[in-house]
Structure 1
Amino acid sequence: MAYGQSDEYSFVLKKDSTLYGRREAKLVSVLTSLFTSAYVLAWSRRMGEGTPLRQAPCFDGRAVAYPSDAILRDYLAWRQVDAHINNQYNTVFWALVAQGGETPAAAQTLIRGTDAAWKNETLHTRFSINYNDLPAMFRKGSVVTRVRQSVVVKVKEESGEEVRRERCVAQVTHEDIIGDKFYAQRP
């Protein structure tokens, strides 16, 4: 499993994983390298062919061994709450600047010290934006899990018949990982 929002991704390995002999430096270097490569390779598909990657990305990495599933869940919940807080702030900030005519400094001053209710009310009354209607990707972040799918591994030349096998593939969703439902569906 992995969880990502903004410029941060967290990768979760099973407790009994023996990947790279559980060597911390090896896991960090390989996961960071693979993530960076995947980011570069997916750039044009995600951003559009006409959007160049202007400079090479650089990601850092670290490994943390959480002592229990409960503490790991708390960490992931904290990351998702942080995604919501940051997105709500940025949505209000840019609405004030782009649609409300405020300077960035004035928008920052208006927002300073406000709570979620004020931000939601400002979005709704001044800009007709319902925060809950914004894409879940921005409000909740991205959850990457492995799911089993039937995939075509080859097509028989003589008959054109597809040969299928079950494979684990990455699936990206934008869902709540704070409550129990997510974990109950993935024991």
Structure 2
Amino acid sequence: MNGKEAWDFIKDFDKSELNNLLFDEFNVNYNALESIFRQGSYVLKIIVEDIVKHTNNDVPIKRRRSGFVEEINNETPEYVRSFEFDSKLMSSTWIVIHEFVKPNDDRTLNLMNLCAVVVLEKFWEDIVFAYGVSDEYSFILKKATNLYQRRANTIISAIVSFFTSTYVMRWKNFFPQSELKNPSSFDGRALCNSSTEILRDYLSWRQVDCHINNHYNSCFWKLVASRKSKRKAQNSLKGAQLEKKIEELAIDYNNLPVDTALIHQENGETPENYGKVIVGHIDIIGPTFWLEHPNILD
């Protein structure tokens, strides 16, 4: 089965049918796959500083404030994209930079995560959170940021160029036996989210999209590699057999164990503890994550 045949075969499958196909044909329990593939990656700072205002020399004046969490209801791409904005970005809005393109490879995912960490460390006064999935990384700038006077093109070019240079410089760390054969390039765009609720909606949509895409891609590449006929694969999805496999795979997705998050321990409010970055692969749709990290939304 070639790529087109595989896609045509699974394009109308629902979640249960995809799970069943992976389990019956390839002995793969999708829910047991690594969290980095199913849920993407987040990057954030343990302590988030607010830039309240700047001096005449553009030096930030900082203070820390507590955060808050709101419930979310929307996860559709049309709803999220309705907040895209061109040129100079509106004041008092959350800014998101995303759509970096990369290969979908675990070494590359880890390289991308490293690049995101370095970006947060570079722009530690303004970027409070990052989320990576598939071929994209989203960087969340704090609502009150005055980075580059909120000029969209300058913000995008600065983050994209720094991310790209880090990717090239750190390539050998993850691909020691492979030369970087062509120059790496990434693109980006900015959109404004006017409330914490809309920001949460955007990030929830990204994680839902991560799960859906990875689910289909898992089936797609297994079908392409297997060279099995459509008939044999289809027979495994019929009738009572499908219901049985759905029951066998009835695992609470939200309670599955996750990969290890790298967390820098705090030793009090000293300058060297500010801006420490952690990486993880957990659910960011529900309230738990945001209750544990309220300063992101402050």
In the alignment, the residues of structure 2 paired with residue 135 and residue 48 of structure 1 have an alpha-carbon distance, to the nearest angstrom, of 28
**Counterpart residue identity of residue 179, structure 2:** P
Structure 2 counterpart SS, 1:38: helix
TM-score (norm 1): 0.65
Aligned to 2:168: 40
Shift of 1:167: 4.2
- Whether the 8 Å CA contact 1:73–1:178 is kept in 2: the answer is yes
Alignment of 1:17 with 2:137, yes or no, is: no
Matches within 5 A, 1:131-146: none
Q: Secondary structure at the match of 2:143?
A: coil
- Give the C-alpha shift of residue 41 in structure 1: 2.3
Deviation at 1:135, TM superposition (A): 9.7
1:68 Cα deviation after fit: 0.7
Q: What does residue 155 of structure 1 align with? A: none
Q: Deviations over 1:2-53 (max 9, x none)?
A: 11111111110110112111111111110111111222222222x3311222
Q: Aligned partners of 1:4 and 1:135: how far apart in 2?
A: 19
Aligned to 1:184: 291
Q: How many residues align?
A: 147
CA distance in 1 between partners of 2:151 and 2:265 (Å): 28
Q: For the structure 1 residues 55 and 25, does the alpha-carbon distance in structure 2 shift closer, same or farther, using more than 3 Å as the test?
A: same
CA contact (8 A) 1:148 1:168 kept: no
Query: Secondary structure in 1 aligned to 2:161?
Result: helix
In the aligned structure 1, how far is the partner of 2:161 from the partner of 2:258? 28
**Residues 177 and 69 (structure 1 numbering): CA distance in 2 closer, same or farther, change over 3 Å?**
same
List alignment gaps of at least 5 residues for structure 2. 1-128, 235-241
Pair 1:101-2:208 in alignment = no
- Contact in 2 for aligned 1:76/1:178 (Cα 8 Å): yes
- Which residue type is aligned with residue 70 of structure 1? E
Q: Aligned partners of 2:258, 2:224: CA distance in 1, in Å? A: 23
Where has structure 1 moved over 3 Å in runs of 4 or more?
Answer: 134-137, 146-150
Deviation at 1:169, TM superposition (A): 3.0
The correspondence of residues 52-67 of structure 1 with structure 2, limited to 5 A, is: 52-67=179-194
Separation (CA, whole Å) in 2 of partners of 1:43 and 1:3:
20
Q: Which has the higher contact order (CA 8 A, sep 6+)?
A: 2
Match of 2:213 among 82, 86, 91: 86
When you count strand as a share of all residues, which structure comes out higher?
Answer: 1
Q: Note closer, same or farther for the CA distance 1:34–1:135 as it changes in structure 2 (3 Å cut).
A: farther
1:30–1:173 CA distance, 2 compared to 1 (3 A): same
Alpha carbon RMSD of aligned pairs, Å?
Answer: 3.4
Mapped partners of 1:87, 1:28: distance in 2: 27
Q: Which residue does 1:49 correspond to in 2?
A: 176
String of CA shifts for 1:77-125, please: whole Å, max 9, x gaps.
1111111111111111122222x3238xx69x96xxxxxxx7xx59x99
Match of 2:131 in 1: 3
| Residues 1:147 and 1:180: Cα distance change in structure 2 (over 3 Å) | farther
Read off the aligned partner of 2:132 and give its amino acid letter. Answer: G
User: Could you tell me how far apart the structure 2 residues matched to 1:56 and 1:170 are?
Assistant: 28
Tell me the amino acid that sits aligned with residue 183 of structure 1: W
Identity, % of aligned positions: 43
Q: TM-score scaled to structure 2, two decimals? A: 0.43
Look up the equivalent residue of 1:38 and give its one-letter code. Answer: T
Distance 1:27 1:70, change over 3 A: same
Separation of aligned partners in 1, 2:276 and 2:205: 27
